[in-house]
Structure formats: structure tokens, C-alpha cells
Structure 1
Amino acid sequence: MKIKPTGDLALIKKINTAIVLEAVLKHAPLSRAQISELTGLNKATVSSLVQDLIDSHLVLENGPGQSSGGRKPVMLLFNGTAGYAVGIDLGVNYIRGMLVDMEGNVIAELQRGLKQNSEQQRGLDLQNAELQRGLNLQNAEQAIDQLTSCIELLIKEAPNSPYGIVGIGVGVPGIVDDNGTILFAPNLKWRQVELQKQLEERFGLPVTIDNEANAGAQGEQKYGAGRGIPNQIYVSVGIGIGTGIILNKELYKGTSGFSGELGHLSIEYDGKPCSCGNRGCWELYASENALLERASLLGYESLEELLEAAAEDDERVVALIRSIGDYLGAGIANIVNVFNPDVVIIGNRMSRAAQWLEPAVQAAVDQRTLPYHRERMRILFAELKDQSAVRGAAYYAISTFFSKIKSGQ
């Protein structure tokens, strides 16, 4: 007699539960009968699995729906308040954090200036490499202390729920490996910072670390201007420039997981030296930092001051922002010629200058891209403005939780 392995039925149930949960997540409100039609699972199986999900606090009954004849069906919803996630956008000079529910709705948020080591802020040129490395590690420790404090404050804001805090997602301006170690963040001057390990040890929660531009791309795809668009490039324009590449609705990370560092494309062969070690990088000419360097000659010290002056029709400031837009458009033209995307989405802090940047960016792209590539391509500004990355980071934590639920962990 052939004995069927006992694990088979349990595995099948896990798979079917994942299918039913996915149907509710994507199509709710819907009835058990509609789930059966969508998934091909028989009604008895669906009914049993739905009850398991209700017992697990992941699905709610939401009253009767429309009848097509006979008894009105009971409609089902995903329970978005079953748990909460923390998202963090760790910038070069700021920390932005959010607490969201399982559907990405914002419950609490905060933003703080990121205090760097004062000597490093003054650009102290240290000849001793070991001393410089020690200063950089000290700087990372200080920033992580501030980051930890922000996470603690957000966790305290979480309402009671069946699953509590399901995870933490962090977007950082640098190259991150599969273990959540920041290998190199040139604008922070960090190398080999084991951020995921440190946060998991501190909070005892799953932590996901990714490049800030990747997080921004995910945020816009899930909640913003990129919804439903298969091929999109998110350009994060802050102190530096990073890009998140989504092809066929999937985040493209490259062979080693490090794709998207297009801010370090060389656009001027013998240009300014960059913190990455190269020269003439795109972000040196088209970022917030580039804008502020030039604005200092006009007596302005912050993006907020410049936006206020532009709104008051200060011609010098408007011309300066448009000049940055021309450089930004030149780099975007290269992206369009390489990837032929449906859209390019400009996000992060510089998206706040959209009304002055957009004409210059569009003109540069029109002038520099191949006509077949720009024929149907659109340039958009982030719907979530400077919150794309923090929303995307929170989505990473939610997505990790769903993956565990669906795999039965």
C-alpha cells in the first residue's frame, strides 16, 4: 500500500490559503462565491479557508452585498488594522518616519533633522585614513541613535492590534547587500554599516533595508503616480540622485542587487570630483546639493528659502532652478534612451520645485532623447511628493509580513 506523505495536505492548504488571501487583498470587497470564481477553488474549500483567515484576524465580514437573485452574499474585507508597520526614510540630513496600517494608511509620522558630526559637517580633511574611518563610524553611531529614537516614538503610537508591529522598513541613500548591510553610502560617508542586524537586535522585529530610491519606486508604484504602470523609472532627487527601476511591474536590482546608482553616471568627462571617487557625476549638477551650492552665491541656504523666493517670482532663483532642471533633464534623457520606460517619476525633496523644474526638464528630454523613445513616454512628479521612500519602506515591512503569512510561517 502506498502511503501519501502527510505533509502534502498541509502544503496544499498553505498554498490555497495564500491564494484566497491574495484575492481578498487585490479585489475586496468580494464574496466567498466571487473568490471561488476568481481562484477556481471549490466553494467548500474557500468557505473553510475564509473562516481560518477570519479566525486569524486577517479578514473581516462587512455585511451583505448586492444580490443577483436569491440570498445576499456576505462581503469580505482585508483587516487593515490587524497590525502596523514602521517605515523610515534615512536621508543625508534628515530622518522621516511613518507608522502605517497593513493597507498603508498613515497613522503617525515624524521628521527630524539628522545631526552629523560637527567636524565632518565642516568638511575636515583628515590625512589619516584610520582616523577618518573612526570619525565615519562615530557619525553612523550617532545617526543610528537618532534613528532608533524615531522608531521607538512611532511604535508607541501604534494602537492595540492582533499582530502588533509586524516589521520595520528603512530606505537609505547607499548600496545595500542582501543582509541589510550598508556597503557604501557616499553622501553619508558610511561603509560597512550593519544596519539591519543592529535594528533587529534592538527591536526584535523583522527589518528590511534597501536603497532609498528603490523604496521610493515601490512607494510610487503601490500608492502613488506609478500605480498600474508596467515600466517606470523613479528618480530620487535629494542631496544626491538615485534611481529605482521597475520593469514589467517588478523592481529590477541587477545581478548583485546594486542597480540604480544612476546619479553616478558621468555626464562631464573631466568634471567635479564626487564623493563616490568618480568625476563629473550627474548628481553633482542636478541635485538639491548642486542647487544649494549655487544658491549660496545668492545668499540662500536652504531649499525652503529658495522655494519661497521662487513663489515670489524672484527671477534669479527661478532661473537657477530651471538651470538645475536642464541638467536633470539631460540625465533623464539618457535613462529614457536606455530603458524606454512608460514614465519617469521625479521624487524626493526636489519634487517640491516641480512647477519651475518641469518646463526645463521636459525641454531637455525633448531635445536629447530619440523620437521613438519619447513618443509615448511621460515625465511625472511624485504623487507622494517627498514621502515616496518612507511609504515604500513601510510597504517593504508589510510585504515581508504577507510573505510569511502566505508561506505558513
Structure 2
Amino acid sequence: MTARAGDGASPGSELTIGIDIGGTSVRASVVDARGRQLDTLRTATPPTAESLEHCLHRLVTELRDRWAVAAVGLAIAGFLTPDRRTVRFSPHLAWREAPVPETMTRRLGLPVFAEHDANSAALAELHFGAAAGGHNTLVLSIGTGIGAGMIMDGRLYRGSFGVAPEFGHLTVVPDGRPCSCGKRGCWERYCSGTALVDTVLELLASHDYPRSVLAAESEADPGSLTGRRVAAAAADGDPAALAAYEDMARWLGYGLGMIADVFDPDLIVLAGGVGAASSLFLDDAREHYAAAVTGSGHRRLARIRGTQLGEAAGTIGAAEVARQGLAMQVAGSQ
């Protein structure tokens, strides 16, 4: 029987809360040990550290009123220290050198654990989704920006200082589009939800799309366009939206070719909000990747799959981080 509030959460409880904290939205879910989401809340990402922590407290409190949970996991879009106790920096969030797990543990009275959001998605896909069976796997989370999780020989790779890999901020266009990280021409500025919007606006400024609904909408209110709106328009056959996805597929294939030259994965999984719409661009991206990789035609290429978990990968992975962290605490106390 599933635990409800009042049943008494214990270190052995199967239920944890996973919270995926992105640059655009915060999504919190109660997740069981099989990776199934039982309850989900979603809200816009607050602009300040204080308001973001208040938001997390509110979401967890609301879910705890309905479910008996044992711990909370945070999937954070930013750099964490190797012990994952401090958020050093995030291009899209307000935390700077912030001991977020400790702060939220005090506020909630529950153990709180943190992980990079892309690593969380990678863990979810490894345990419950499309990365199962992969040996050296890249999980590329494409949403507001690009996050990446690398699984090497079946284990998550974080690098020497806990920040690997930051593929989204590889420079692909010198002096290109400005990025919130402070650089210009980063890969995620051409291959992400926000990049889709910028590409649509550039295309509309330089080309005539008389049958495009997005053209009319952007003329009325340029700020109304979002990555989700572009995805919906592309699914409806909007020519400007489809052209933007063609451009993104080109950049995705180009970037994957670079990564394959370094990492040589056998499996690539596309996750995140944009990755969940991979049917709009995956075939084109495969072709661009095959052409971009060094030694094209004379080497084996990685399989490229769309996510099995969709946008839920971050929350499911964060809940798994909480479950594993709690188990380590219990083992350490015995």
C-alpha cells in the first residue's frame, strides 16, 4: 500500500520528493522506488535565492501534506562542489556559493540532497529509462539551456572538481550570441528552448513566412514566444517553427560530433523539455551527427534515442538521488 501522510515516514520509506530546478520552472514530484511519479507540482522559477528557497519549502510542504516522504532530492542547473553540498554558480539561478542542501534540511526538517540537474536526468534514464543497457552513455538534457550527464563504464562521471561535463557552454560560434554564463557563442545558444525562440525571431526578420502563425504572433508581441510555443507550432506544421527546428538539428548534430570525437559514447539519450519533442528533429540531427564526426563512414556511431521519461527525468532522478543519499546515511549510522 502506498504511504500517505500520517503513515510515518522513516529512513526505509519508499517515497522521496524529487525537485527539478530549472531556469524557467520548478517541478516537484513524489516518486516511488520504481521511478513512478505519484504526485506533481509545478511553478515558475523565482528570481532571487530567498524566494526560490521559499518556493521549495512551499512545494515540499504541500506534497508532505498528502504523502509520507523520507527525503528530498534537488536537481539543480548549476555547478556544485564535489561533495554536492554547495551550489557554486548557476547561469540561470540566483544561488552563489550557497549551502542549499543544508539550508533546506534545516527549513524542512527532512534530509535534503543535491545533484546537477543533468546528472539527475542521467541517473533516471540509467535506472528507469532509455539509458538502461548503455556502457558509455551521454544523456543530453535540452531545455532552457543544455545540460549533460556522462555515464562511463556504467557509473556517473563528475570530473575532478564536480562540474563535468558542461558541454552546453562549449563555444561553437566565436563572438556569437551572448550567453547568460558570460561567454558568447555557446552551444546552448543555438540548440535549446531559448535558442529556438531566438532563431525564429531571426528567421522572421530575414525571411517571409506568410503562412506562419508565429509570424503574426511575434509581430503583435515578440515577447510572447516561448520554446513550448515554437514546439507546438512546429507540430502543427508552421513553416517558421519547422525552419527553426531544422537549424537546431544542424547545431545538435555538429555538437554531438565534437563530443563523440572526445568521449566516443555507444549511446546518446536526448532528455529535457526540448529533448522530449525529439520527433521533430531527431532524424535530421542523426544525419548531421554522422557527417560531423571525425572518420565518418569508417567508424561505429553511437545510437541516439529520445528520452523514455520526458520532462520527468529530472524529478525522477532527483528523487533517486535522495533515496541513495538516505541509504548512505542509514548505512553510515549502523
CA contact (8 A) 2:137 2:268 kept: yes
Q: Secondary structure at the match of 1:150?
A: helix
1:108 partnered with 2:39: yes
CA contact (8 A) 2:104 2:112 kept: yes
Structure showing greater relative contact order (alpha-carbon pairs closer than 8 Å, 6 or more residues apart): 2
CA contact (8 A) 1:229 1:342 kept: yes
Match of 1:351 in 2: 275
CA contact (8 A) 1:366 1:374 kept: no
- 1:224 to partner: Cα distance: 0.6
Q: Secondary structure at the match of 2:150?
A: strand
**In the alignment, which of 278, 284, 290 is matched to residue 183 of structure 2?**
278
CA contact (8 A) 2:170 2:187 kept: yes
Indicate the larger mover: 96-105 or 320-329. Answer: 96-105
Task: Report 1:213-232 matches (<5 A).
Answer: 213-232=118-137
For residues 328-356 of structure 1, the C-alpha deviation after alignment (integer angstroms, 9 at most, x for no partner) is 11111111111111111111010232122
Match of 2:211 in 1: none
**In the alignment, which of 377, 388, 396 is matched to residue 321 of structure 2?**
396
**In the alignment, which of 156, 170, 194 is matched to residue 289 of structure 1?**
194
Identity between Structure 1 and Structure 2 (%): 30
CA contact (8 A) 2:193 2:226 kept: no
Distance 1:96 1:173 in 2: 13
- 1:179 to partner: Cα distance: 4.7
**In the alignment, which of 246, 259, 262 is matched to residue 167 of structure 2?**
262
Coordinate RMSD, CA, aligned:
2.2
Question: Scaled by the length of structure 2, what TM-score is found?
Answer: 0.85
Pair 1:83–1:230, CA change in 2 (3 A) = same
1:243 partnered with 2:243: no
Unaligned runs of 5+ in 1: 1-80, 117-138, 160-164
Question: Scaled by the length of structure 1, what TM-score is found?
Answer: 0.70
What amino acid does structure 2 have at the position aligned with 1:302? T
Q: Larger Rg: 1 or 2? A: 1
CA contact (8 A) 1:340 1:373 kept: no
Distance 1:329 1:106 in 2: 32
Distance 1:179 1:357 in 2: 34
**In the alignment, which of 161, 166, 176 is matched to residue 70 of structure 2?**
166
Task: Report 1:100-139 matches (<5 A).
Answer: 100-116=31-47, 139=48
What amino acid does structure 1 have at the position aligned with 2:66? E
Richer in helix (by share): 1
Distance 2:24 2:183 in 1: 22
What amino acid does structure 1 have at the position aligned with 2:279? Q
Distance 2:64 2:330 in 1: 22
CA contact (8 A) 1:264 1:282 kept: yes
Unaligned runs of 5+ in 2: 1-11, 205-214, 219-223
Q: Secondary structure at the match of 1:279?
A: coil
